[in-house]
Amino acid sequence: MTNPDAHVEPIDVLLVEDDPGDVVLIQEAFEHNKVQNRLAIVSDGVEAVAYLRREGEFAGAPRPDLVLLDLNLPRKDGREVLAEIKADDGLAAIPVVVLTTSEAEEDILRSYKLHANAYVSKPVDFDRFIEVVRQIDEFFVSVVKLPPGA
């Protein structure tokens, strides 16, 4: 049980999501749950890798403390992004939560083989979606100890 009076520092979250509707839902979930974390959004895998490596337009981007990663992305899919994150010594410690519509067993297995920290299927029900985002936030902000500098 978390202490509601405990002060929790906001974290930087990178959302990698190409569906504008899902982006809005996640933003609304953060607002609804009064999540104070900073949310950066990129819409494809190429942008995600550039953001994480602070390249080009993302040179001044903060290093995210948590990545919410969709699997089905344009230009470079989420599986490739996950593999690159976990193969890069400078990025590998950043927790990655796969947040996707896929419930395919092969996607779940492959994501964990690529060292995803969690795999969450996006609920279609709005209230359940809000609750899932709240639980992810609570777990990674209030429960889990994130690595320093991650």
Sheet holding 38-42, edge to edge: 38-42, 12-16, 66-69, 96-100, 118-121
Which option is the CATH number for 18-139: 1.20.140.10, 3.40.50.2300, 3.40.50.10580, 3.90.660.10?
Answer: 3.40.50.2300
In terms of C-beta density within 10 A (0-12 exposed, 13-18 middle, 19 or more buried), how is residue 77 classed?
A: middle
Give the position of tokens 């896929």: 102
Tens of each residue's pLDDT in the chain, 150 residues: 444 444 467 788 999 999 998 898 888 887 876 667 788 999 999 999 999 999 999 999 999 989 999 999 999 999 999 999 999 999 999 999 999 888 899 999 999 999 999 999 888 788 888 888 888 877 877 676 666 654
